[in-house]
Structure 1
Amino acid sequence: MLRVTLNSIMFCAIASSPLIAQTIAQSGAGSGIIATSGFDSLAQSPGIVSNPLSQPTLTPGALVLLELEGRFSQAVAEGGGKAFGSWFAEDGVTLNNGKPAILGRTAIAAQAQWDPKTYQLTWTPQGAQMGPSNDMGFTWGHYEGHSKDKNGEPVVISGRYFTIWKKLPNGTWKVALDASAEEPPPTKECCTLPKP
C-alpha cells in the first residue's frame, strides 16, 4: 500500500511540473501540436521516436521534437510533396544541395509537387534539442529518396538533414528551416587522385 501511495504522489508531483504537464498535454492525440489540414491525426510511426529508457538523457522537449519529426515523416510518406509543404511556417526556408534557398511556405509548396507513388522521401531522426524557452528546437538525422529513372531503374539518394522547429503564437509547431546535404563519398574516395 505504501508503494502505491508513494507512486501516486510521485506521479502527481511530476505531472504538476509546468514543463512536464505542457509536454504531456502537447504529446496527446489531437493536442494541436501540429496544425496541418488533413495530416494532424496521423499516428506516430513505430520506431521513429527514440526510447527514453534506452536514451535516458533525452529531455521532455527533445521528445516533443522527435514526435513532431515522426508525424512530419509519416505525413510526407502518405501525402508526398503536398504534405511536405504544409508543415512549414509562413516564413519557412529550405536549403538543399546545389540548389538556391527556397523562401516561404508558398514557394516551398510550389516546389514540392512530388507524388508519393513515384517518389518516396523517408527519414529517421537521430537526435533533437529543445531551446531553453521551449518554443524552438532542432532535429537531425538521415534521409532517403526513392524513385525510378526514365528506364524504370531504381534511383536512391541519401544524406543528412537538419530541421529547425518553432512554436507559433497559437501553440502549433511548424518547420522554420529544413536543410539537407547528400551523403559524403566513401572514405578516401574524395581525396584520391586519378591514376594515369
Structure 2
Amino acid sequence: MHRVTLSSILFCIIVSAPLIAQSDAGAGPAAAIGYGAFAQNPGVISNPLSQPTLTPGTLLLLELEGRFSQAVTEGGGKAFSSWFADDGVTLNNGKPAILGRTAIAAQAQWDPKTYQLSWVPQGAQMGPSNDMGFTWGHYEGRSKDKNGEPVVISGRYFTVWKKLPNGAWKVALDASADEPAATGECCVLPKP
C-alpha cells in the first residue's frame, strides 16, 4: 500500500511540475507547448489540472503533440515532415491529399523565419490497443504578404498518431480546416 501511494505522489509531481512551470498566463499559443497549453486555456476540454483522470496514453499523445509543435516552431517545414510515418497523409482545407512522407517533405518547404506555424492541442484519445490515437486543437499560421503586411490564418487540426514496430510514434494523418464560423453565424439568413 505504501509503495502505491509513493508512486502516485511521484507521478503527480512529475506531471504537475511542467504544468506549473509553464503556466505563464501571458504566454500566447506559440509559447504554449506541451502541457503548459492546458494550464493557459480555461476552455480546453482535456485539462490535466482539472481532469486528473486522463489516462497515461492520453498524456503521452498530448506530450507527443507538444513536442511536434515545438519542433515545427523551431525547424519549419523540414521539421514538420520529419514527424510523419513513411505512409503518412496530410489533408488540408480545399487541397488534394498528400500521400507519403517524401511527398509531404516536398510540399513542406517553409522556413520558420518567413512562416510561423504553431498549434495548441485541446484534447486527445488513445485507442484501446495503446498503439494508435488522435489529438485535436487549434492552429495558427503567421506570415507577411508581398507588401510586408501581416497575414494570419487559423483553424482546427486533427492528428492521428501510430506506434511503429520499433516503438517510435509517428504521425499517420494530419488534417486541418478553416476556423469555424462564429456562434450564430452559420445559420443566419441574409438580411434584405
TM-score (norm 2): 0.77
Verify the 8 A CA contact 2:34 2:65 in the aligned structure 1. Answer: no
Specify the code of the residue in structure 1 equivalent to 2:126: M
Aligned to 1:185: 181
Q: Deviations over 1:91-118 (max 9, x none)?
A: 0000000000000000001100000000
Kindly indicate whether residue 103 of structure 2 is the aligned counterpart of residue 107 of structure 1: yes
Report the identity percentage. Answer: 82
Shift of residue 48, structure 1, vs aligned partner: 3.4
CA drift at 1:185: 2.8
Secondary structure of 2:180's aligned partner: coil
Given residue 37 of structure 2, which amino acid in structure 1 is its aligned partner?
A: I
Amino acid aligned to 1:47:
G
The letter for the 2-side match of 1:59 is: T
Given the alignment, which residue of 88, 92, 97 partners 1:92? 88
Task: Give the aligned partner of residue 5 of structure 2.
Answer: 10
Change (3 A) 1:9 1:180: closer
**Structure whose alpha-carbon radius of gyration is higher:** 1
Structure 1 counterpart of 2:127: 131
**Structure-to-structure mapping, 1:24-39, within 5 angstroms:** none
Structure 2 CA distance for aligned equivalents of residues 137 and 111 of structure 1: 25
Structure 1 stretches of 4+ with a deviation exceeding 6 A read: none
Residue number in structure 2 paired with 1:3: none
The AA in structure 1 aligned to 2:65 is: E
CA distance 1:46–1:62, change in 2 (3 Å): closer
Aligned pair in 2 of structure 1 residues 9, 98: CA closer, same or farther (>3 Å)? closer
**AA aligned opposite 1:182:** D
State the partner residue of 2:61: 65
Whether the aligned pair in 1 keeps the contact of 2:34 and 2:63 (CA below 8 Å) is no
The 2-side partners of 1:64 and 1:45 are apart by: 10
Select the residue among 145, 148, 161 that pairs with 1:149: 145
TM-score computed with the length of structure 1 as normaliser: 0.76
Show structure 2 runs of 5+ residues with no match.
15-32, 39-45
In the alignment, structure 1 residue 166 sits paired with structure 2 residue 162: yes
Structure-1 separation of matches of 2:77 and 2:157: 17
The 8 Å contact of residues 160 and 173 in structure 2, kept in 1 or not, is answered as: yes
2:138 maps to a residue whose letter is H
CA 1:13–1:115 in structure 2 vs 1: closer, same or farther (change >3 Å)?
Answer: closer
Mean alpha-carbon deviation: is it higher for 182-191 or for 124-133?
A: 182-191
